[in-house]
């Protein structure tokens, strides 16, 4: 019997297992497919909310802690596993913002290093940028992480931990109830039991929680991305305009994203999105005109009200915990979310105020199917 059973093998689930495993707990993680192959694989990996000033304090507190933690996390995983998550500090330019004054006011109020820069200085720093932009703000310390490699690194780290077991291809069909508490899950191979069960299944979390008569307001939001291959020095910084961004990887790959679509659990890439993303890519980086993307895919974000994740124990269901609903910011918020979860489970002083993420008062009763 495990101390903790984690349901969901995305970055939030993997990092939860890593964090709790390093505390000495016996951890089992179950994933219905392969670990790290859903939203965690599909995202861009910017270690910042796209527009941080448009979120409330709850998201900002998690983001700031995680941003400070990521460089050390990347280095630790590289040393432990030999797999480099590639935490790549490039900075980020926001172009032609409608709410630039609000962004700068937010930066002053939160002591964040965001400042206005002359557009000519942006072109000097980012020669590949298109000519049609008028104004910009810049935050120099923003990193991106190569999310598929982060997931691989975490999976390898867990493989090397004797107190952690990972079961892929293990689809959960329901929960194990015992004397009014949740004591594990049921899957095709039988029951898996644990003192505590953590639901970290992203967009699929609501389906599992519905079996308990609870409605979790987390729904799939489709996002499509495209990928180009350029010279390693083609793009020196992340750039963002009109809701679309370009992210440089160290080896010259450039990600461009993303769409926001409410299409249920459909992950099919579409020609319409491809055309729209290519147009955005060519507006940001005109040298990409006529160059075919080398990849096009879609993933499902776990959309939640105001983008605030659910982290904590489920009221009325002893032994059941949530770490889910991170919407567009799963990779950004994961380190702080997983540390906060561990703090709460181990009954120690949390890194930040935990109440905004508590499931209590944010779940509603729903009729059982």
Instruction: Please give the average pLDDT of every successive group of 10 residues along the chain, which has 369 residues.
Output: 97 98 98 97 96 96 96 97 96 98 96 96 98 97 96 98 98 93 94 98 96 95 98 97 97 96 97 98 97 98 97 97 97 98 98 97 75
Residues 112-144: pLDDT tens digits? Answer: 999 999 999 999 999 999 999 999 999 999 999
- Count of H helices and E strands in the chain? 9, 20
Q: Looking at 276-360, which runs of residues are DSSP E strands?
A: 295-303, 310-313, 320-324
Residues 87 and 91: their CA atoms lie apart, in Å, by 12
* Residue 257 half-sphere exposure toward CB, CA atoms < 13 A: 27
| Ordered structural domains, the chain, with CATH | 2-46+149-218+305-365 (3.50.50.60), 92-140+220-303 (3.30.9.10)
User: Which pLDDT value is given to residue 48?
Assistant: 96
Give the pTM. Answer: 0.96
pLDDT of residue 368: 57
Residues 30-48 pLDDT 10s:
999 999 999 999 999 999 9
The DSSP string of 147-207 is HHHHHHHHHHHHHT-TTEEEEES--EEEEEEETTEEEEEEETTEEEEEEEEEE--GGGHHH
Q: What is the pLDDT of residues 300-310, one digit of tens each?
A: 999 999 999 99
Residue found by looking up tokens 């280095």 in the block: 75
Q: What length does the chain have?
A: 369
pLDDT tens-place string over residues 296-332? 999 999 999 999 999 999 999 999 999 999 999 999 9
């Amino acid at each position: 019997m495990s101390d903790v059973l984690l349901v969901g093998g995305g970055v939030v689930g993997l990092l939860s297992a890593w964090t709790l495993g390093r505390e000495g707990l016996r951890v089992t993680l179950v994933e219905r497919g392969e670990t790290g192959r859903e939203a965690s694989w599909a995202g861009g990996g910017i270690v910042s909310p796209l527009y941080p000033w448009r979120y409330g304090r709850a998201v900002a507190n998690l983001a700031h802690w995680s941003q400070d933690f990521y460089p050390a996390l990347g280095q630790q995983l590289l040393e432990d596993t030999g797999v480099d998550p590639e935490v790549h500090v490039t900075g980020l330019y926001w172009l032609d913002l409608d709410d630039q004054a609000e962004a700068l006011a937010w930066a002053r109020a939160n002591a964040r290093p965001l400042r206005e820069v002359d557009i000519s200085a942006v072109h000097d720093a980012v020669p590949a940028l298109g000519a049609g932009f008028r104004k910009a703000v810049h935050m120099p310390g923003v990193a991106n992480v190569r999310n598929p490699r982060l997931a691989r690194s975490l999976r390898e780290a867990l493989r090397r931990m004797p107190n952690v077991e990972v079961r892929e291809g293990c689809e959960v069909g329901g929960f194990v109830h015992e004397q009014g508490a949740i004591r594990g899950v049921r899957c095709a191979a039988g029951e898996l039991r644990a003192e505590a069960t953590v639901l970290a299944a992203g967009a699929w979390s609501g389906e599992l929680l519905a079996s308990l008569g609870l409605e979790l307001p987390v729904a799939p939001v489709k996002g499509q991305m495209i990928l180009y291959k350029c010279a390693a020095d083609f793009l020196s910084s992340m750039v963002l305009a009109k809701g679309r961004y370009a992210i440089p990887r160290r080896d010259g790959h450039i990600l461009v994203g993303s769409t926001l679509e409410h299409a249920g659990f459909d992950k099919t890439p579409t020609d319409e999105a491809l055309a729209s993303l290519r147009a955005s890519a060519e507006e940001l980086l005109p040298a990409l005109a006529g160059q075919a993307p080398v990849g096009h895919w879609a993933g499902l974000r776990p959309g939640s009200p105001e983008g605030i994740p659910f982290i904590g124990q489920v009221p009325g269901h002893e032994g059941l915990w949530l770490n889910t609903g991170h919407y567009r910011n799963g990779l950004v918020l994961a380190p702080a979310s997983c540390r906060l979860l561990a703090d709460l489970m181990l009954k120690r002083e949390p890194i930040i105020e935990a109440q905004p993420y508590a499931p209590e008062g944010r779940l509603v009763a729903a009729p059982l199917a």
